[in-house]
Amino acid sequence: MVITLARASLVRHRTRTLLATLGVAVSAAMLLDMVMLSSGMRASFRALLLSHGFQLRLAPKGTLPFDTEATIADASAIAAGLRARPDVVTVSPVLGAQLHVEALEDDGAGAALSTAALGTEADVQGDYELLSGSAPRAANEIVANDAFLAAARVHVGDTIRAAAGYDPQLRSFTGQRRLAIVGRARFVYMAAGERAIALPLATLQSMQGAGRTDRVSLFMIRVRDAADPEAARRAIEAAVPSVSAISTATAIAQVDERLSYFRQLAFILGAVSLAVGFLLVTTIVTVSVNERIGEIAVLRAIGVARVRVVQQILIEALAIMLVGAVAGLGLGLVTARYLNSILASFPGLPEAIDFFLFQPRDAWTALGLLTACGALAGLYPSWRGASLPIAQTLREEAVG
C-alpha cells in the first residue's frame, strides 16, 4: 500500500515530478563528472606511466624527465651497471632533442621544420607504439607520428634530411643526416598534435656532436615482479649520485601536487551538486506534503501508523532522486567526454591523459551519495507529515 500511495502522489503531478527528476539528473551528471575528475587524472597518469611496464625513471639530479635540457653523462657505464643489478629486468636509455627537418611548402620550396626527436634502443624502448612499418634499428632509420608526416608532407618509405642544430653565424645547419622513414608510430608521452620522430640512440648522440656522444636524458627501468620498486629506487639513487630516481608512486605524488587545483575544484563542484539535488528534492517533497495534509490526517485517523506515512514520503523522495540519478549518470558520461576533449587540448599534456576517466567505482560512489541525499531529503517532510495533530488538522482542513 505504501508504494502504491507514493506512486499515486508522484503521478498526480507529472509535470512537477518530471521537472524535479530532470533537475536531479543535472546535479547527478555534475556529481559523476566531478568524481571522475578527482580520481581520473591519477588513474590515467598511473596507467600511462605503467603502459610499458617501466616502474622507475632516472633523470638528471634535481630534475624531472625532460623538464630541462640537462642530460646524464657516462650513460653507457650507468646502463651497464643498472643491467647488472639482480632486481632490474630492462633498462631503456632515452635522449631527447629538437631536430630541424627539411619540408616542402606549397610552392615546392624547402623549409625548416622543427620536431621533437627521441633517441632510443628499439628492442627495449617504451616511448612509442608502432602502428605500421618496422622499428628503427639501422643507423639511418626513423619512425614518425602522423603529425610529423602531415607537416613534412612525407610518407613511410621516404627519406628526409635532418639536422641537430643551426649555426646563426654561418647560417647553416649542423649535424646533418639523411634519414629513411621506416615506420609510423604513436608516441605515448607526446601531446596531441606534437610532431615527433624516433631514431636509434647512437645516431641522435652522434648528430649532436662529439661532446654529447655518451649522454641521455633519462633511463626507464623495469624491475622484477618479486622486487620492491621503492627499495630499488633508493638503492639506485644511492649507487648513482648523478641522477634522481623517480618511482611511479613518486611521480603520481608530484603530479597530484601540480594538479591539486583540479581535485579541489572537483570536490567543491561535487559538493555543490549534492547540495542542489538535496535542496531540490526536499523542496518538491515538502510542497507535495503541504498539499496533502488533509489526506495524511485522514489516513492517520483511520488507523494508518506514523511509520507508514514516513515510509511513503521517504519513498517519494528516493524515487525522484534515484530516477534522476540514473538519468544523470548517462548525461554525465556524455558531458565528461566533451569536457575531456577540451581539457586534453592543454599544451604540454600527453595525448593519452584522460581527465575524466570512467571507472565503475565512480558510478557507484555517485549513486550512493545521491541515494543518501534522497533519504535525507525526505526526513523533514516525512517528519512534518507524521507529526501533524489529527483532530486539529482535520478541523482546519474542513474550515478551509
The overall pTM is greater than 0.75: no
The pLDDT, as a whole number, for residue 109 is: 44
The pLDDT, as a whole number, for residue 107 is: 43
SS (H, E, C) the chain: CHHHHHHHHHHHCHHHHHHHHHHHHHHHHHHHHHHHHHHHHHHHHHHHHCCCCCCEEEEECCCCCCCCCCCECCHHHHHHHHHCCCCEEEEEEEEEEEEEEEEECCCCCEEEEEEEEEEECCCCCCCEEEEEECCCCCCCEEEECHHHHHHHCCCCCCEEEEECEEECCCCEEECCEEEEEEEEEEECCCECCCCEEEEEHHHHHHHCCHHHCCCECEEEEEECCCCCHHHHHHHHHHHCCCEEEEEHHHHHHHHHHHCHHHHHHHHHHHHHHHHHHHHHHHHHHHHHHHHCHHHHHHHHHCCCCHHHHHHHHHHHHHHHHHHHHHHHHHHHHHHHHHHHHHHCCCCCCECCCCCCCCCHHHHHHHHHHHHHHHHHHCHHHHHHHHCCCHHHHHHHHHHC
Instruction: Give, for all 400 residues of the chain, the pLDDT tens digit.
Output: 667 766 767 777 788 888 888 888 888 888 888 888 777 777 777 777 777 889 999 999 887 777 777 889 999 999 999 999 999 999 999 999 889 887 655 444 456 788 999 999 999 998 899 999 999 999 999 999 999 999 888 999 999 988 887 665 555 667 788 999 999 999 988 877 889 999 999 999 888 876 667 899 999 999 998 888 889 989 998 899 889 888 887 877 777 776 677 778 888 888 888 888 888 888 888 888 777 777 777 777 777 777 777 788 888 888 888 888 888 888 888 888 888 777 766 666 676 677 777 778 877 888 888 888 888 888 888 877 777 776 676 666 666 5
